[in-house]
Amino acid sequence: MEKVTVEQDMHALTPQEETYELKKDKVEIILQALDVADVSGVREHVEDMHAADVAEFLNVISNNQRREFIEIIRDDFDPEILVELDPDIKDNVVEVLGAEQSAEAIATLEHDDAVQVIEDLEQSNQDEILEAIPQEQRDTIEEGLSYPEESAGRLMHTKYVAAGENWDVGSAIDYLRSSDDLPEVFYSIFVVDKESVPVGSVLISKAIRNNRDVKIKDIMEDKIYTIKDQMDQEEVAYTFRKYALASAPVVNGDGKMVGVITIDDVVDIMKEEAEEDILHLGGVKEADLYAAFVETSMHRFPWLLVNLVTAIAASAVIAMFAASIEQLVALAVLMPIVASMSGNAGTQTLTIAVRSIATKELTETNAKRIVIKEVLASAVNGLLFAGIVGLVSYFYYDDLYLSLVFAFSIAAALILAALSGALVPLGLVRMGVDPAIASGVFLTTITDISSFFIFLGLASIWLL
Amino acid sequence: MEKVTVEQDMHALTPQEETYELKKDKVEIILQALDVADVSGVREHVEDMHAADVAEFLNVISNNQRREFIEIIRDDFDPEILVELDPDIKDNVVEVLGAEQSAEAIATLEHDDAVQVIEDLEQSNQDEILEAIPQEQRDTIEEGLSYPEESAGRLMHTKYVAAGENWDVGSAIDYLRSSDDLPEVFYSIFVVDKESVPVGSVLISKAIRNNRDVKIKDIMEDKIYTIKDQMDQEEVAYTFRKYALASAPVVNGDGKMVGVITIDDVVDIMKEEAEEDILHLGGVKEADLYAAFVETSMHRFPWLLVNLVTAIAASAVIAMFAASIEQLVALAVLMPIVASMSGNAGTQTLTIAVRSIATKELTETNAKRIVIKEVLASAVNGLLFAGIVGLVSYFYYDDLYLSLVFAFSIAAALILAALSGALVPLGLVRMGVDPAIASGVFLTTITDISSFFIFLGLASIWLL
């Protein structure tokens, strides 16, 4: 869908674009310095690295290397590194740093970052480090942790810029210049009424372009999207993306402003939520790339066990037709093809459905239309593949009736698969279950059992 | 991993949090007004809706309803709606609006939004609308379209705020006040040298807090992350997330600043890229929720055809052992269980690997360690499930040797599945292929063929 113009040559792709991932060469060089205990060499390499790059480095090296590396940079340890680490690695790093230094580092972080680092730690590390953090900061961190997991309350900064309804631009700017209790970065001034209820917002880029005597009220955007402190982080991300927000005020149950969420936190949430959906569809509970292997086994065991039960159920269907298979062994050869095609067609529909439900594009309003469309789309492919497999199997087995049964089964199985692929996630949503987690198991159970039943059942009736 | 404190009750989850998705009730009310051709009713309902909500409404209604609705709001049509529509719906809406009104609407959009709307349209609509856009704006849009698809050049705003190295805060603010060619929203002032090469940036929230006579050079952040105009949008998103950027300067091949990318565009890209990975893993080429059903069939046909070929390859392995199955039909009953367990275990590893490669967490540095870990994790589950299936099948078939063959096959197949699940995506990356697209087919081919071969092969040797 690209418009092709003559200018296109001007911007020909260079073979190697510059990117900001931590390069393998850089990793190797630091590891070599580490290997020969070249302390000053390691420090020199790390000196000008961004905390996010140091975290990326810590994520990919081994436990032993991590211990040695942290000992070397301990005195210059940038607290921001903790924010960027993979959760599994965070525990390891704070254990090497020790509770006291970890607490000291976390105490220097902005409120939302401190909460995020602490919440990712294992309970024992949480307790130990919280105890070592000065009373006042501990209280605000514990206040943050008292909000439900994955809620807006956990994401918000508690420092923010709020102006009264009667302020003018000049007084707002003077306030910004004189106050020493402001967040490091902010994009908007929020306007609150006497009850601390947010009533509007002004982007700084807009405020700065107005004269000092202009009333804030006259230039503020009064259509604001407030975030309830209880809102799920996935809804927060949805709201930011939908309305292209850079920051939004967070309010408590009484509608009073209690904090601000900024887009940089939302970007992390978006990554996390997309990851969750991908992993759940793949039958994985959580990202555990860096976890110990036994822990990983245990994460995956339950899903494999569920799968075993459904596979046994499907094989029970096959067992029902054991006599037919003994008579005509071609059935055993062809039946996995029906199940495989059905499973894959169903997964295609399921993937679209689960993703569209997550992005709120598939709703009750258009559900019926989408289901019908999916079934029709699968019917087209069902007929095409019925033709293909019918011809191929006839060529191979030279048995017209077997080929007809095989072809008919493929068509029926594909249509049923699309129907299930759409209805299973929609049904799960109605039951209040996250469709990304459970849809796959339900679907393959349905496609396996129905494929074997249709194919072996028809074969038993018509061929034997 | 949540810290439980006594305050937790303070923030108990309310059953129904307020969210900003377009409510079903609202949709129904507008559709009812539309149904009885209540023109003023429809207009009244739409009047205070955000463009993003109107777009969400247009996405979920039927083609006929969309046509009627647009006719009613035609005179007040908010151009921003076009930006928010699903790509498949965009074509439909511009066709109803007509080329002239569409061109008029697109001409009022900011540069990056105009490019994005045009690039999503089908070629015929693109041509017709571009022709109707005034020369000057058409040129800038075509300049945007001349960058490769999904590149930074297509995402950038061409209006931005740049200051000279010798400016002070006062002159920057005066410039912002007097210039009428500024972007609507901006977060930073970029500092460029005489050659237009960006050398630093100052957040407005920081500039505004300094006195007028402070030199920009003295407060600017000189570690800036410039984006090459050719950079892939996925890399752009990675850079923004990693360094928590709100905006970044875009440079051409000579390093000269040509535009700015802001976080709101990146948020859309993040959604798009996560979607792509999810869909590719599910065997779907693109999101086509709203496409016509025949189009959807055609999108999905190629992948199903590939799957058919691999399923036939797997069934050819079964055919090799047809004589064994005729002798012992239990083999036909049990073989799908081996393949199903192996396929699922492999998919678990594959999902983690593909996702970690996409987020640059799985790199050449830690690949070997991760592969070994995955194989060990699968070996643990392999042994556990060998025990379970061995016992269950012995109980059912009362055949010690069959159970042993079955158990051993499950263990071997699970280990091989994990090895393949990790090595297939890593191998594809090395070959320069996107692992999200092709990994699934390779993996199931390997797990199906190896499962049937191991189980039926061992059974033929040991049991018959």
CATH 1.25.60.10-classified regions of chain B: 2-146
User: Is residue B103 within 8 Å of residue B76, measured between CB atoms?
Assistant: no
CA torsion sign for A277, A279, A283, A285 is negative
Contact A142 B7 (CB under 8 A): yes
Chain B 343-382, CB below 8 Å of chain A: which residues? 344-345, 347-348, 350-352, 355-356, 359-366, 369-370, 373-374, 376-378, 380-381
Name chain A contacts of B373, Cβ cutoff 8 Å.
Answer: 292-293, 296
How many angstroms separate the CA atoms of A369 and B189, rounded?
48
Structure confidence at residue A17 (pLDDT): 52
> How far off is chain B from A166, nearest CA to CA, in Å?
20
Q: In this structure, what DSSP letter does residue A215 have? A: B
**Using one digit for the tens of pLDDT, what is the confidence trace for A95-140?**
999 999 999 999 999 999 999 999 999 999 999 999 999 999 999 9
Q: DSSP class of residue A21?
A: S
pLDDT score recorded for residue B241: 94
Task: Report the CATH number of the A292-462 domain.
Answer: 1.10.357.20
Cβ pair A3:B376 closer than 8 A: no
Q: How confident is the model at residue A231 (pLDDT cuts 50, 70, 90)?
A: very high
Which is higher by pLDDT, A15 or A371? Answer: A371
Q: Do A365 and B123 touch (CB under 8 A)?
A: no
pLDDT for the residue B15: 38
Give the pLDDT score at B92: 94
Low-confidence ranges of chain B (pLDDT < 50): 1-16
Domain boundaries for CATH 1.10.357.20 within chain A = 292-462
Q: How far is B456 from chain A (nearest CA, A)?
A: 12
Q: Do A282 and B351 touch (CB under 8 A)?
A: yes
A162-262 CATH fold:
CBS-domain (3.10.580)
Buried b (16+ CB within 10 A) or exposed e, B352-389: bbbbbbbbbbbbebbbeebbebbbbbbbbbbbbbbeeb
CB distance B177–A209 less than 8 Å? yes
pLDDT band for A2, please (50, 70, 90 cuts): very low
Distance CA B297, CA B294 (A): 5
- Residue B403 to chain A, least CA–CA distance (Å): 14
Query: Poorest-confidence range of A208-212, A407-411, A417-421, B123-127?
Result: A208-212
Confidence label for A326 from pLDDT (cuts 50, 70 and 90): very high
Matching residue, tokens 């494929």: A451
What pLDDT was estimated at residue A289?
Answer: 85
Which of A322, A351, A381 is the closest to B284 by Cβ? Answer: A351
pLDDT, residue B1, reads: 39
DSSP element (H, E) containing B358: helix B330-358
Phi-psi region of B283 (alpha: psi -120 to 50; beta: other; left: phi over 0): left
Helices B263-281 and B435-462 meet at what angle, rounded to 10? 20
Provide the whole-model pTM: 0.90
On the question of pLDDT at A18 being above 80, the answer is no
Q: Which residues contact B182 (CB under 8 A, 6 or more apart)?
A: A209, B159, B161, B176
pLDDT bin (cut points 50, 70, 90) of residue A7 is very low
Task: Report d(CA A291, CA A401) in Å as an integer.
Answer: 54
Residue type, B31: L
**pLDDT tens, B248-282?**
999 999 999 999 999 999 999 998 888 888 999 88
Q: Please, what CATH class does the domain formed by A2-146 belong to?
A: mainly alpha
A232-270: pLDDT as tens digits = 999 999 999 999 999 999 999 999 999 999 999 999 999
Instruction: Give the span between the Cα atoms of B283 and A347, in whole angstroms.
Output: 8
Predicted pLDDT at B74:
95
Structure tokens at B319: 């055919």
